[in-house]
Amino acid sequence: EGLNTLNDFYLLAERKTLRFVHTYIMIIEYIDGIELCDMPDIDDALKNKIQQSINALHQHGMVSGDPHRGNFIIKNGEVRIIDLSGKRASAQRKAKDRIDLERHYGIKNEIRDLGYYLLVYRKKMRNFMRRLKGKPAR
């Protein structure tokens, strides 16, 4: 079973000088459709499709890294994900995707796994340290 919600990736080339990458060339599929950020309202059916596409991404060992409205394209009623982070799909990164879905779209995170609790703990610790330094919590 494949994953058909992503745009196809054809080529990644990099140019290095002294083992330092300074130029990337990426060739990816162009998807003609409507960006989610251009849609004024997102109904529950579309929110469900967005959640299903992120869940499928996670099941295939990938993460979005930044599931905001500009990274989803709607074509013929189907959701396509663009601009993946390319990072390894750890439990914390999957949890961050789910938390971001809740933040951006109001899609409730129903999975409270170790990655979720580690992410919440890390945020609380950072805010605690910021308050100790006299800075406002985020």
What are the pLDDT digits (tens) for 17-53?
998 988 988 888 888 999 999 998 999 999 999 999 9
pTM: 0.80
Extract the tokens encoding 26: 């990426």
- The three state secondary structure string of the chain is CCCCCECCEEEEEEEEECCEEEEEEEEECCCCCEEHHHCCCCCHHHHHHHHHHHHHHHHCCCCCCCCCHHHEEEECCEEEECCCCCCCCCHHHHHHHHHHHHHHHCCCCCCCCHHHHHHHHHHHHHHHHHHHCCCCCC
What are the pLDDT digits (tens) for 43-56?
999 999 999 999 99
**What are the domain boundaries of the chain?**
35-132
pLDDT recorded at residue 2: 62
CATH code at 35-132: 1.10.510.10
Provide the mean pLDDT of the chain: 91
